[in-house]
Amino acid sequence: MDSGRFDVHSANGYGQAWRTKTDTGGAPVTTYGFLGLGIMGSAMAANLARSGFEVVVWNRTPEKAAPLVSLGARRGEIPREVVATCDITFAMLADPAAVEAVCAGPDGALAGVGSGHDFINMSTVDDITSCAISDAVVERGGRFLEAPVTGTKQPAEEGTLAILAAGDESLFEAAAPAFDVMGKTALYLGAVGNGARMKLVVNAIMSGVLTALCEGMALGLKSGLDGEQVLQVIDAGAFANPMFRAKGRLMLDRNYPTSFPLKHTQKDLRLAVELSERSGQPLHCIAAVNEIFKRARVTGHGDEDISAVFEAIR
């Protein structure tokens, strides 16, 4: 993908209408836009609104904005309007196709970009998509940062995500107050693409470890071991971790309330495999993990939590 695929127009009709408030000291107040109010985005935007920031939100399904409006946020009608009337706009969308759809066109986010109207993509996409969006933003006079996150629903609600930022360092610094609310740490990783690649590496490792837990648990149960005791032994050892405690319990209960959808994890695995092909680095284990997640997705578990991959293994 290249930036030429984004067909956008200028942000006619919008401008400074929502950017005139000042704090008690007379300093301009930064207005944040937020595009995408799914499991992660709604929690992240809510933390911004609860912290007293000026926030303008948008979602394809307008009804999802209602809880944010009740917290003091304002609802934008189209992505262009949000970006054109905010200092910094964040996007938290499902996949590269969703990001492209929201960015492109006369009503898309890129049509609102310009000097003083910057764009931060927090969605998990591949590095090629991220670089193309960056080029399009810079071409229109804005600053761009990619900032995917590690963490699921609970860390998003608690504001303890890890933010993996790359791109314009001055925008990274300008967005620090918002990052402080949404995450426990924000790392600056350099040039655009590094954040996207880092997120895919981390998610590939996480998915591989989770799949190993599923296989071990399935083996233990089918060989006659007590599942509770398996989890107790794991938790007493060197590789005890919060994910095993939480996801192991869901596997034993065979109940998978969604903290992070399995279908999105499989998307991340697919992007990691594509990155491996471009990089010339074989992923023997991760490629197999991707196939297991694909099986879980096509057998009806895509909208369940990532731990539902256990159903494709047991």
Q: Spot the catalytic one: 153, 199, 247, 263.
A: 199
**Residues 23 and 144 occupy one common structural domain:** yes
Contact between 122 and 91 under an 8 Å Cβ cutoff? The reply is yes
Q: Where are the beta strands (DSSP E) in 183-227?
A: 183-188
Query: Which of the listed residues 191, 218, 249 is the one where a domain comes to its end?
Result: 191
**Residues 178 and 53 occupy one common structural domain:** yes
Residue 66 confidence class, pLDDT cut points 50, 70, 90: very high
Cα–Cα dist 156/207, whole Å: 19
Check whether 97 has a pLDDT greater than 80: yes
**Residues 39 and 171 occupy one common structural domain:** yes
Check whether 5 has a pLDDT greater than 90: no
Q: Which amino acid is at 88?
A: I
State the CATH number of the domain containing residue 236. 1.10.1040.10
Check whether 174 has a pLDDT greater than 70: yes
Contact between 109 and 35 under an 8 Å Cβ cutoff? The reply is yes
Q: Where are the beta strands (DSSP E) in the chain?
A: 31-35, 54-58, 74-75, 88-91, 118-121, 144-146, 149-150, 161-167, 183-188
Residue 29 confidence class, pLDDT cut points 50, 70, 90: confident
Query: Which of the listed residues 191, 219, 238 is the one where a domain comes to its end?
Result: 191
Task: Provide the percentage of residues in the chain whose pLDDT is more than 90.
Answer: 90
Check whether 14 has a pLDDT greater than 70: no
Cα–Cα dist 175/169, whole Å: 10
**Residues 69 and 119 occupy one common structural domain:** yes
Distant-in-sequence, close-in-space partners of 233: CB < 8 Å, separation ≥ 6: none
**Residues 225 and 99 occupy one common structural domain:** no
Cα–Cα dist 92/39, whole Å: 10
CA distances from 13 to 16, 17, 80, 84, 94 (A): 10, 10, 10, 9, 29
State the CATH number of the domain containing residue 187. 3.40.50.720
**Residues 49 and 184 occupy one common structural domain:** yes
Q: Please give the pLDDT value at position 21.
A: 34
Check whether 88 has a pLDDT greater than 50: yes
Contact between 228 and 284 under an 8 Å Cβ cutoff? The reply is no
Per-residue pLDDT of 298-308, as tens digits, reads 999 999 999 99
Q: Please give the pLDDT value at position 82.
A: 98
202-219: average pLDDT: 98
**Residues 184 and 203 occupy one common structural domain:** no
Q: Can you read off the two tokens belonging to residue 211?
A: 């799949």
Provide the domain count of the chain: 2
> Would you call 199 a catalytic residue per the annotation?
yes
Range of the domain at 216: 197-312
Cα–Cα dist 120/175, whole Å: 9
Mean pLDDT value across the chain: 93
Q: Please give the pLDDT value at position 276.
A: 98
**Residues 235 and 266 occupy one common structural domain:** yes
The residue among 192, 102, 91 whose CA lies nearest residue 149 is 91
Per-residue pLDDT of 217-265, as tens digits, reads 999 999 999 999 999 999 999 999 999 999 999 999 999 999 999 999 9
Check whether 138 has a pLDDT greater than 80: yes
Distant-in-sequence, close-in-space partners of 257: CB < 8 Å, separation ≥ 6: 250, 304, 305
**Residues 177 and 210 occupy one common structural domain:** no
Contact between 172 and 186 under an 8 Å Cβ cutoff? The reply is yes
Quote the Cα angle for 9-14-18, to 5°.
140
Residue 19 confidence class, pLDDT cut points 50, 70, 90: very low
Distant-in-sequence, close-in-space partners of 115: CB < 8 Å, separation ≥ 6: 141, 142
**Residues 204 and 184 occupy one common structural domain:** no
Q: Which DSSP string do the residues of 282-313 spell out, in sequence order?
A: --HHHHHHHHHHHHHIIIIITTSBGGGGGGGT
Check whether 3 has a pLDDT greater than 80: no
Check whether 25 has a pLDDT greater than 80: no
Query: Which of the listed residues 176, 191, 206 is the one where a domain comes to its end?
Result: 191
**Residues 139 and 117 occupy one common structural domain:** yes
Is the dihedral angle over the CA atoms 220, 226, 231, 232 positive or is it negative?
negative
**Residues 157 and 241 occupy one common structural domain:** no
Residue 13 confidence class, pLDDT cut points 50, 70, 90: very low
Residue 10 confidence class, pLDDT cut points 50, 70, 90: very low
